[in-house]
Amino acid sequence: MSKTQHLPAAILAPNGGPILVTGQHGQLATALRALGGPRIQCIGRPELDFDAPDTLQKTFDAIKPSAIINAAAWTAVDLAESEEAAATRANATGPAELARLCAAADIPFLHVSTDYVFAGDKGAPYVETDPISPQTVYGRSKAMGEALTLAANPKTLIFRTAWVYSAHGKNFVRTMLNAGAKNPALKVVGDQKGNPTSADDLARALLEVLAYIENNGWQDAFAGIYHACGTGETTWHGLAVATLQEATHHGQAMPDITAIATQDWPTPAKRPADSRMDTSKLARTFGVTLPHWGDSVKRTVRDIFNQR
Ligand SMILES: NC(=O)C1=CN([C@@H]2O[C@H](COP(=O)(O)OP(=O)(O)OC[C@H]3O[C@@H](n4cnc5c(N)ncnc54)[C@H](OP(=O)(O)O)[C@@H]3O)[C@@H](O)[C@H]2O)C=CC1
Ligand SMILES: Cc1cn([C@H]2C[C@H](O)[C@@H](COP(=O)(O)OP(=O)(O)O[C@H]3O[C@@H](C)C(=O)[C@@H](O)[C@H]3O)O2)c(=O)[nH]c1=O
């Protein structure tokens, strides 16, 4: 047996052009850099800043990408309520400009959107053709980003994901680990449902889609919206329990976690009550399915303790 036979195959073929990934220090970009190999070129602020539009063309010309994955975004949901203009630049008009640059170069633009474009009142997992009805400034800015980037480039693919966490950056899993380490009792909303998604799993899925397109050639039917979130569903309370349960295997005491109602955790931005998404289009089109959120949460918690 050759020494390398048991190593996982690289997701992207090594001989293609550079893949420009925006939002260099974010959760998704960090995961893409770790998984994607040498073709991935992550760029962050100030080199690529949606608040400084001239940086987009400059960076694009310097890298000459064969595709862009836009992992940059305004993700502070509550703060967006009072910062609509900046959130809209980061989530809609800035990405649209990048999509236009991709259109001029005839290359794919992979953009990431959110379950928060939905109102959360369907009572069943949303499919891509369901009407959107964002209830927050963040959700509206992401909805505008979907429409503008689709209109700007016939090779735009949009991946709506949800409840993203990783071992790095700001996310609910890390917030719960820190809160659970300091407090014997936590209160977490138990009446909002969704699909937690590991940034590592999402990164792998996006790279697999890109590899599929590179291997099979572009088809116009690829353009459009896909739901790309972890398999399985839970509530924020369920996610907190799973996170802190796993942490007990690493020496952290289990706090008492009470499920509360949305109205007992008031926030400036109203979260959807049920933003579960159906991911079968992604599986049908590209053969890509993300792992179950429960397994990925365990792995992420292990990674967090291992890196301490
Ligand atoms: N996090 C989540 O729970 C979810 C995320 N998504 C979507 O997934 C994608 C990736 O999210 P995630 O990795 O979690 O995001 P992060 O918040 O971890 O990272 C976002 C990155 O975007 C950069 N950024 C913010 N504003 C600008 C701007 N004006 N110009 C250029 N860069 C900017 C930030 O830069 P800096 O480091 O300089 O601040 C940061 O590096 C986003 O499209 C997001 O909307 C969808 C559903 C859930
Ligand atoms: C910290 C905390 C939050 N909560 C509630 C508030 C809220 O309803 C829910 C989630 O809280 P957060 O503010 O951490 O998560 P939030 O910022 O709403 O997360 C969202 O981010 C954006 C970027 C997305 O696109 C969404 O998919 C989603 O991941 O949990 C508690 O009940 N107890 C707590 O201790």
Amino acid in the structure at residue 245: Q
Structure tokens at 54: 């001239």
Q: Which of ligand 1's atoms lies nearest the C-alpha of 29? A: 13
Report yes or no: 299 and 147 within 8 Å, Cβ to Cβ.
Answer: no
What's the CATH code of the domain at 27? 3.40.50.720
Count: domains in the chain: 1
Catalytic residues: 138
Amino acid in the structure at residue 162: A
Per-residue model confidence as pLDDT tens digits over 45-87? 999 999 999 999 999 999 999 999 999 999 999 999 999 999 9
Per-residue model confidence as pLDDT tens digits over 281-298? 999 999 999 999 999 999
On whether residue 241 sits in a domain, the answer given is no
240 lines ligand 1 (CB under 6 A): no
Per-residue exposure over 208-228, b if at least 16 CB sit within 10 Å of its own CB, e if not: bbbbebbeeeeeeebbebbbb
Other C-beta atoms lying within 10 Å of the C-beta of residue 207: 24
The angle, 0 to 180 degrees and rounded to 10, between the axes of the packed helices 199-216 and 293-306 is 110
Lateral strand order in the sheet of 156-161: 40-43, 19-22, 67-70, 109-114, 156-161, 224-227
Burial class of 126 by CB neighbour count within 10 A (0 to 12, 13 to 18, 19+): buried
Question: Given this model, what pLDDT does residue 10 score?
Answer: 82
Considering the chain, what is the average pLDDT of its residues? 96
Beta bridge partners of 138: none
Tell whether the model's pLDDT for residue 1 goes beyond 60: no
Tell whether the model's pLDDT for residue 111 goes beyond 50: yes
On whether residue 176 sits in a domain, the answer given is no
Taking the C-alpha atoms of residue 88 and residue 82, their distance in angstroms, rounded to an integer, is 12
The angle, 0 to 180 degrees and rounded to 10, between the axes of the packed helices 293-306 and 172-182 is 60
Residue corresponding to tokens 């050639």: 217
Distance 92 CA to ligand 2 centre (A): 22
Tell whether the model's pLDDT for residue 3 goes beyond 50: no
Distance 14 CA to ligand 1 centre (A): 27
Neighbouring residues of 72: CB distance < 8 A, sequence distance ≥ 6: 22, 23, 26, 29, 44, 48, 50, 90, 94, 95
Question: Given this model, what pLDDT does residue 5 score?
Answer: 47
Tell whether the model's pLDDT for residue 4 goes beyond 80: no
On whether residue 284 sits in a domain, the answer given is yes
Taking the C-alpha atoms of residue 132 and residue 126, their distance in angstroms, rounded to an integer, is 9
On whether residue 69 sits in a domain, the answer given is yes
* pLDDT band, residue 163 (cuts 50/70/90): very high
225 lines ligand 2 (CB under 6 A): no
Question: Given this model, what pLDDT does residue 24 score?
Answer: 98
Per-residue exposure over 18-33, b if at least 16 CB sit within 10 Å of its own CB, e if not: ebbbbbbebbbbbbbb
Beta bridge partners of 256: 185
Query: Which secondary structure element, helix H or strand E, spans residue 272, and what is its range?
Result: none
Name which residue sits closest to atom 46 of ligand 1, judged by CA: 114
Per-residue model confidence as pLDDT tens digits over 117-153? 999 999 999 999 999 999 999 999 999 999 999 999 9
Nearest ligand by distance to the CA of 86: 1
165 lines ligand 2 (CB under 6 A): no
For the chain, what percent of residues have pLDDT higher than 70? 97
Beta bridge partners of 156: 109
On whether residue 178 sits in a domain, the answer given is no
Where are the extended beta strands (E) located within the chain? 19-22, 40-43, 67-70, 109-114, 156-161, 164-165, 185-189, 193-194, 197-198, 224-227, 234-235, 256-260
Taking the C-alpha atoms of residue 81 and residue 87, their distance in angstroms, rounded to an integer, is 9
Structure tokens at 296: 């990925």
Tell whether the model's pLDDT for residue 8 goes beyond 80: no
Per-residue model confidence as pLDDT tens digits over 143-157? 999 999 999 999 999
141 lines ligand 2 (CB under 6 A): no
On whether residue 204 sits in a domain, the answer given is yes
On whether residue 185 sits in a domain, the answer given is no
On whether residue 300 sits in a domain, the answer given is no
Question: Given this model, what pLDDT does residue 9 score?
Answer: 64
Taking the C-alpha atoms of residue 78 and residue 121, their distance in angstroms, rounded to an integer, is 20
Question: Given this model, what pLDDT does residue 308 score?
Answer: 86
Amino acid in the structure at residue 51: D
Domain span holding position 64:
19-171+197-231+275-291
ipTM of the complex: 0.99
Per-residue model confidence as pLDDT tens digits over 254-277? 999 999 999 999 999 999 999 999
Give mean pLDDT, residues 10-19.
92
Per-residue model confidence as pLDDT tens digits over 178-227? 999 999 999 999 999 999 999 999 999 999 999 999 999 999 999 999 99
Please report how many Cα atoms fall inside a 13 Å half-sphere around the Cα of residue 98, on the Cβ side: 36
Tell whether the model's pLDDT for residue 232 goes beyond 60: yes
